[in-house]
Amino acid sequence: MKTKAQQYWRQNLIYLAILLAIWFVVSFGAGILFVDWLDQFRLGGFKLGFWFAQQGSIYVFVVLIFVYVYLMNRLDKKFDFDEV
Amino acid sequence: MGIQGWTFLIVGLTFALYIGIAYLSRAGTTGDFYIAGGKVSPLANGMATAADWMSAASFISMAGLISFMGRDGSVYLMGWTGGYVLLALLLAPYLRKFGKFTVPDFVGDRYYSRTARLVAVVCAVFISFTYVAGQMRGVGIVFSRFLEVDITTGVIIGMIIVFFYAVLGGMKGITYTQVAQYCVLIFAYLVPAIFISILMTGNVIPQIGFGGTLADGSGEYLLDRLDGLSTEMGFDPYTDGSKSTIDVFFITAALMVGTAGLPHVIVRFFTVPKVKDARISAGYALLFIALLYTTAPAVAGFARANLLETVDNAPYAEVPEWFTSWEDTGLIEFNDIDGDGNINYTPDESTNELVIDPDIMVLANPEIAQLPNWVIGLVAAGGLAAALSTAAGLLLVISTAVARDLIRRTFVPDITQQRELLFARVAAGGAVIVAGYFGINPPGFVAQTVAFAFGLAAASFFPAILLGIFSNRMNKEGAISGMIAGIVFTAAYIIYFAFMFPELNNSENWLFGISPEGIGTLGMVINLVTALIISRFTKAPPLEIREMVERIRVPRDLEKDSETGEN
């Protein structure tokens, strides 16, 4: 039987793993490692790889933090760790 | 009213605003001075963090650098924003729960060691000083370009302003002036960017115009035109990279991890009331930063296209007015080598006739877009806001490190709060003077020292704090040896290539093809590996430290929970 704090921490680590995987894929993946391959596709006037490297990755970063905030606030409530 | 008049008026008004705010938010206690009493709202903290973070380099130089680097400029764009994801997810909430005042506080307490604290103090002071010298220089440059005073006078005016609100108000004064400075700088950045976007692509939003078609009726995409012009003139296509993939990878990672490890950014998350405020304010901070960071590459693209079209084999006699007016400042230099009266701009140094300072891409924007004079004044005020806000945040880290981490926690533990506050103010004042000195007499290696600051932050603080939160088993032996291994490796590599043998500084001699800018990433890995190995072979940390780690992992302490725990 795990304590509440341990369950909470485990769930937190799962969220972190998922969110950081996305963080890695959009920046180091799409913006750096696969940038030339993605450049064969287009998004309006942008080559797709170039767009991820100079625009898209940053938008995803912002969204990731807000998703994290939402998930953690929900988790805090579920485990009764939310601050008064 | 002329450009000078508008600039004096707008800069004067913003300075009066900062001083007024500083006066209203004077610090009364050490808590006010170090962390603004811990009462800053998350939205205000987000703005303050954004202003704290975006320096003179972000505001004035970044778009210009990108316009010369093309796609490779993404190392700055991703590197200086992606770190906030690490900060928000891996550090900020837990450090807020820890609830002390500084980064060395955390390192010293978590690793129950005076040595660890001292290593952290030295790193924090060193990183902050390298950074602040560049800011004071930026203040001087803006003054000298827009107000025609010399750089020294400009730096001294900047010092007086920062002195006033950092020494008087501490973190409390800095926070609320930074909120105002964010508003000034983002307005000053967006207005010319929007106008130039309309001018070139007919789109109000620069981020969309960047990928749109040109407004000249050709129906061609801006970026295609840019690639075409670049290749025609002998440059690499704008949307292609020329750095090696491994180097781009390592530089981006070093800047990201370095960002998350910079003490003046981390300390901002100590100033909000709750753990959930720390999380959301990191989100606001990145949102506010992204507003500028997604505009910058658009500005870079517009400016580059505009420049290439203007100078492409153009007769010198027919260049637009902004070209000649920036020639007077020395930021554009034309030298008609072949004597044909035409501008020949090529990557080949022996025939190239045009030298352009990257800073001009932002500074000349209002003139290129033929905006009214007040916009030029606004850009000057924005550049000053960016430089001053960053300088103030850094100076506070230095003064806190001296007054709290060195004097109170290390040498004179029984000092009274009033005396400690006095020491903090004296230290802040001293730091302003030292920073001003370096602003007036800049060391000749400012550019390299920034790589140094990020590399050291990446190789020292980030792993030490990360392990302190995520590894229960991490002990002082592991953390200290990890930090020292990371710092020594990173510093040695940078010193070797940047200062001792600059002539060897090319990809053939680099370790795995990693430039000194990116070596902090490897330093971080060395730190992590060393720390993990050493900690396995040395004593586990004491029970109270392991309990402390359990406590910082949850936003609220539950008394009964710890009793039913099975460790």
Which residue from A4, A27, A39 is facing B78, i.e. has the nearest CB?
Answer: A27
State the CB neighbour count (10 A cutoff) for residue B526: 19
Which residues neighbour B40 within 8 Å (Cβ) at sequence distance 6 or greater?
B48, B175, B271, B272, B273
Chain B residues in contact with A81 by the CB 8 A cut-off are 554-556, 558
Hey, which residues 333-352 in chain B have their CB within 8 Å of chain A?
none
Chain A residues in contact with B286 by the CB 8 A cut-off are 61-62, 65
Determine, for residues A28 and B221 on separate chains, whether the beta-carbon distance falls below 8 Å. no
B85 close to A (CB below 8 A) = yes
B536 close to A (CB below 8 A) = no
Chain A residues in contact with B239 by the CB 8 A cut-off are 39, 47, 50
Test mutation, B85, B244, B471, chain A, max A CBs within 10 A: B85
Which residue from B241, B279, B565 is facing A69, i.e. has the nearest CB?
Answer: B279
pLDDT of B289: 94
pLDDT of B443: 63
pLDDT of A1: 56
Tell me the backbone φ, ψ of residue B256, rounded to 5 degrees. Answer: -65, -55
| pLDDT < 50 regions, chain B | 560-567
Hey, which residues 189-248 in chain B have their CB within 8 Å of chain A?
207, 210-213, 221-224, 239, 241, 245, 248
Chain A residues in contact with B245 by the CB 8 A cut-off are 32-33
pLDDT of B559: 58
Element (H, E) at B256: helix B245-261
Q: How far is the alpha carbon of B28 from chain A, nearest alpha carbon, in Å?
A: 27
Chain B residues in contact with A71 by the CB 8 A cut-off are none
Chain B residues in contact with A32 by the CB 8 A cut-off are 74, 245, 248-249, 252
For chain A, what's the residue count? 84
**Can you give the three-state secondary structure of B45-61, one letter per residue?**
HHHHHHHHHCCHHHHHH
pLDDT of B562: 43
What is the C-alpha end-to-end distance of chain A, expressed in Å?
28
Element (H, E) at B13: helix B3-24
Determine, for residues B553 and A9 on separate chains, whether the beta-carbon distance falls below 8 Å. yes
Determine, for residues A81 and B556 on separate chains, whether the beta-carbon distance falls below 8 Å. yes
Please count the residue pairs, one from chain A and one from chain B, whose beta carbons lie less than 8 angstroms apart: 148
Chain A residues in contact with B521 by the CB 8 A cut-off are none
Q: How far is the alpha carbon of B269 from chain A, nearest alpha carbon, in Å?
A: 15
A44 close to B (CB below 8 A) = yes
What's this model's pTM, rounded to 2 decimal places? 0.90
Q: How far is the alpha carbon of A50 from chain B, nearest alpha carbon, in Å?
A: 6
C-alpha closest to that of B177 among B14, B411, B13, B9: B14
B77 close to A (CB below 8 A) = yes
Chain A residues in contact with B223 by the CB 8 A cut-off are 45-47, 50
Dihedral Cα B210, B214, B219, B223, nearest 10 deg: -40
pLDDT of B444: 55
For chain B, what's the residue count? 567
Q: What is the CA radius of gyration of chain B?
A: 24
Determine, for residues A66 and B221 on separate chains, whether the beta-carbon distance falls below 8 Å. no
Determine, for residues B223 and A55 on separate chains, whether the beta-carbon distance falls below 8 Å. no
Task: Determine the residue of chain A that is closest to B563 in CA distance.
Answer: A3
Task: Determine the residue of chain A that is closest to B287 in CA distance.
Answer: A62
- Residue B99, token pair as written in the block: 């609830």
Chain A residues in contact with B82 by the CB 8 A cut-off are 23, 27, 57, 61
Angle at A53 between CA A68 and CA B355, to 5 degrees: 135
Q: Between β-strands B332-334 and B354-356, what pairing exists: parallel, antiparallel or unpaired?
A: antiparallel
C-alpha closest to that of B451 among B486, B494, B421: B494
A38 close to B (CB below 8 A) = no
Average pLDDT, chain B: 83
A25 close to B (CB below 8 A) = no
pLDDT tens digits along A25-47: 999 988 888 888 878 888 888 88
Which residue from A35, A39, A55 is facing B207, i.e. has the nearest CB?
Answer: A55
B43 close to A (CB below 8 A) = no
User: Half-sphere exposure of residue B56, counting CA atoms within 13 Å on the CB side?
Assistant: 24
Cα–Cα distance measured from residue A62 to residue A43, given in angstroms and rounded to the nearest whole number? 20
Q: How far is the alpha carbon of B518 from chain A, nearest alpha carbon, in Å?
A: 14
Cα–Cα distance measured from residue A35 to residue A53, given in angstroms and rounded to the nearest whole number? 8
A51 close to B (CB below 8 A) = yes
